[in-house]
Structure 1
Amino acid sequence: MRAPERPTFDDEASKEIYQYVERHGTAERHRVRDAASIPANQFQESLEKLKTKGYLEEEGGTIRVSLDVGSIEEFETDDGSYTIRPARHSDFEGVVDTIRAVTATETYVVAETVAEQLLYDDAVSRHTTVESRVFFVATVDGEVIGWTHLDLPHVEKLRDTAQLTVGVRPEYRGQGIGSQLLTRGLDWAEANGYRKVYNSVPATNDTALAFLEAHGWNTEGIRKDHYTIDDGFVDELLMAYEF
């Protein structure tokens, strides 16, 4: 599916509950109940309807918007096995730590921004009236070791394009994990009707640029002196992949 279609509601109570969770990304059950001006038994009934329809999901008393973004895939390498799957809320700390591990060794400003946005939202996936955010993770023995993510604007004139970031912890590189993560993100975008995916990379990040170019990405533009890194100005390369 494309970034989720707007849901339909059986009653105003269901709509009120869903919209509260949507605005906040995730919400504690008791806060949603307090915010909904309906009796407790009606709250329970409406929430269960929303969960049954697949609009909301709940884990440990935390309610979030559901995003159905695909299946779990297993891969074998000479060094062992790893899994690529849609991210879950329980992956939150692992995703942030992995992004920080990557950005600690190379300059990847967009990914740093993504990590900060995750911390602000306190949620991995996000779906609002303005935009959606989809994450896939690579895991080894349940631990997150890589990610790919897409930001999906809902503004009509931008609905055919998405921003993608991807990264793998340094100690797990050289096994094709990054390529599989990138492919998973691109496959999802193509299947959901996007015509272009883009990424922004500092001109000094040779590793990232070489990786994207090897997978068919092209330099679409350059922003001169866009970043200030180590007290110097660095160009930003606008990389794009078109389907």
Structure 2
Amino acid sequence: MYIRLAKIEDAKRLAEIRLQIDGETENMDRERGEDFLDEVAFQEIIKIDTTSVNNLFLVAEITGELVGFSRCEGTNLNRSKHKVMLGVAVVKDHWGKGVGPELLRKSIHWADRNSIRKITLTVLETNRKAIEMYTKFGFEIEGRLKADKKLADGNYYDTYVMSRNKKQ
């Protein structure tokens, strides 16, 4: 497995795997095809992230194939530049192979080296494996958004807001 910065040339494949991942699980915010980002949209995100000191876009490769990505998005607002919002996504065929934890490890390492004090994320209450992984990396549940997502079974589920605060 190889974790690296996203490149403009990755944009087409990123559009494809984001669409694929959205259709493989209900753990994401979107259903397949919703809020679709095409190749050009990913090119723009990569350009922004490459030049922003508060953003990080990583991809995971296995034998030359992109199988997942993570993104930290920050802000330039003075009161909030100490924190980023994190998202991690991995193609279902590669779950359980350490891709998610490695993307998370690299993201945390980047944040710690770049004066990012707080990393936040949201995770569906039913996504126990992700919650367990985040907890192992020092994330804690800070809040709960009740009845936040309606899944295919017709029921509403809570979303946890989790964060990792860098020790001073």
Q: TM-score, normalised by structure 1?
A: 0.58
Name the residue aligned to 2:157. Answer: 234
State the one-letter code of the partner of 1:234.
Y
Question: In 2 relative to 1, CA 131–143 (structure 1 residues): closer, same or farther, beyond 3 Å?
Answer: same
SS in 2 for 1:96: helix
SS in 2 for 1:158: coil
Q: How far apart, in 2, do the equivalents of 1:115 and 1:181 lie?
A: 23
Q: Kindly indicate whether the alpha-carbon contact (under 8 Å) linking 2:54 and 2:84 is maintained by their aligned counterparts in 1.
A: no
State the one-letter code of the partner of 2:96.
G
Deviation at 1:201, TM superposition (A): 1.1
More helix per residue = 1
Q: Which residues in structure 2 correspond to 1:41-190 (within 5 Å)?
A: 82-106=1-25, 107-109=27-29, 116=37, 120=41, 122-125=43-46, 126=48, 133-190=55-112
Unaligned stretches of 5+ residues in structure 1 = 1-81
SS in 2 for 1:144: strand
Determine what percentage of the aligned residue pairs are the same residue.
Answer: 21
State the one-letter code of the partner of 1:224.
K
Q: Kindly indicate whether the alpha-carbon contact (under 8 Å) linking 1:196 and 1:241 is maintained by their aligned counterparts in 2.
A: yes
Q: Kindly indicate whether the alpha-carbon contact (under 8 Å) linking 1:84 and 1:139 is maintained by their aligned counterparts in 2.
A: yes
Deviation at 1:123, TM superposition (A): 2.4
Name the residue aligned to 1:29. Answer: none
Unaligned stretches of 5+ residues in structure 2 = none
Q: Kindly indicate whether the alpha-carbon contact (under 8 Å) linking 2:14 and 2:39 is maintained by their aligned counterparts in 1.
A: no
Deviation at 1:140, TM superposition (A): 2.2
1:113-138 Cα offsets, whole Å, 9 max, x none, are 886498646424215xx996421111
Larger Rg computed on CA atoms: 1
Question: In 2 relative to 1, CA 211–158 (structure 1 residues): closer, same or farther, beyond 3 Å?
Answer: same
Q: How far apart, in 1, do the equivalents of 2:13 and 2:62 lie?
A: 12
Q: How far apart, in 1, do the equivalents of 2:76 and 2:55 lie?
A: 11
Q: Which runs of at least 4 in structure 1 moved beyond 3 Å after TM superposition?
A: 112-122, 130-133
Q: How far apart, in 1, do the equivalents of 2:36 and 2:101 lie?
A: 21
Name the residue aligned to 1:193. Answer: 115
Q: How far apart, in 2, do the equivalents of 1:93 and 1:121 lie?
A: 8
Q: CA RMSD in A?
A: 3.0
Q: TM-score, normalised by structure 2?
A: 0.81
Q: Number of matched residues?
A: 162
Q: Kindly indicate whether the alpha-carbon contact (under 8 Å) linking 2:74 and 2:81 is maintained by their aligned counterparts in 1.
A: yes
Larger RCO: Structure 1 or Structure 2 (Cα < 8 Å, ≥ 6 residues apart)?
Answer: 2
